[in-house]
C-alpha cells in the first residue's frame, strides 16, 4: 500500500490469473519499476488477468501491450471535458477487440451510448495489433527455481 512493487509481492498466490479486468492507473515511473529481478510492475499486473480477461492501462502503452498480448488496441477519447483527450490501451490473449461480442447491459452511464445508437463501434480506436508471436506472460521455466519469496516487502 503506497509502493506498488512491494504491494504486488504481498498478494495471495490465488489472485494471479483470477481477474476478468485489471485497470491500471500508475505513472510511467512506477509502471517501469521492478517487482523481481525479471519482472516489472506492468508484467506483474498482467499476471493477475484471467486467460480470457482484459487489462487496461491509461496513457500510451500500445507497443508494450502489443508485445505482451495476442490482441491490443489503443483507444483515444478526444472529448474529455477536463483534459481534452485521454488515451487508454487494452490487451488480452483471447479477446479480439476487432471482433467484439457487444451486448447492451442497460446500465445508465454518461459516456457510452446504448448499442442501438452506436453507428461505429470502433470510433475511438486509434491502433490495433494482433500479435501471433506473443509469448505467454507466465511460462514454466526449465530450471527448478525456488518458489520462496527472496525479498521482503518491508512493511
Coil, strand or helix at 35: strand
User: Tell me, which fold does domain 4-130 have in CATH?
Assistant: Rossmann fold (3.40.50)
Average pLDDT rounded to a whole number, residues 104-110:
78
Confirm if 48 and 21 have CB atoms less than 8 A apart: no
Please give the grid coordinates belonging to residue 154: 518491508
Identify the CA nearest to 90 among candidates 54, 59, 114, 122. Answer: 54
The conformation of residue 132, written as its DSSP 8-state character, comes to T
* Whether residue 105 has pLDDT greater than 70: yes
Encode pLDDT of 8-57 as tens digits: 888 888 999 999 999 888 777 677 777 778 888 888 888 999 989 999 98
Q: Domain ranges for the chain, please list them.
A: 4-130
All three cell numbers of 82, joined, read 477536463
Average pLDDT taken over every residue of the chain: 77
Please report the sign of the dihedral spanned by the C-alpha atoms of residue 104, residue 110, residue 112, residue 113: positive
pLDDT tens-digit readout, 75-89: 887 776 666 777 788
Are 88 and 22 within 8 A, CB to CB? no
Q: Distance between the two ends of the chain, CA-based, in angstroms?
A: 9
Amino acid at each position: 500500500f503506497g509502493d506498488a512493487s512491494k504491494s504486488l509481492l504481498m498478494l495471495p498466490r490465488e489472485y494471479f490469473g483470477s481477474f476478468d479486468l485489471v485497470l491500471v492507473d500508475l505513472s510511467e515511473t512506477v509502471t517501469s519499476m521492478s517487482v523481481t529481478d525479471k519482472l516489472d510492475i506492468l508484467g506483474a499486473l498482467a499476471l493477475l488477468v484471467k486467460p480470457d480477461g482484459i487489462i487496461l492501462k491509461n496513457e500510451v502503452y500500445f507497443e508494450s501491450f502489443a508485445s505482451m498480448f495476442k490482441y491490443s488496441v489503443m483507444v483515444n477519447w478526444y472529448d474529455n471535458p477536463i483534459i481534452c483527450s485521454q488515451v487508454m490501451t487494452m490487451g488480452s490473449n483471447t479477446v479480439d477487440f476487432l471482433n467484439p461480442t457487444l451486448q447492451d447491459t442497460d446500465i445508465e452511464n454518461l459516456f457510452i451510448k446504448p448499442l442501438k445508437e452506436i453507428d461505429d463501434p470502433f470510433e475511438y480506436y486509434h491502433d490495433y495489433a494482433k500479435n501471433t508471436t506473443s509469448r505467454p506472460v507466465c511460462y514454466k521455466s526449465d530450471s527448478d527455481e525456488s518458489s520462496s519469496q527472496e525479498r521482503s516487502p518491508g512493511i
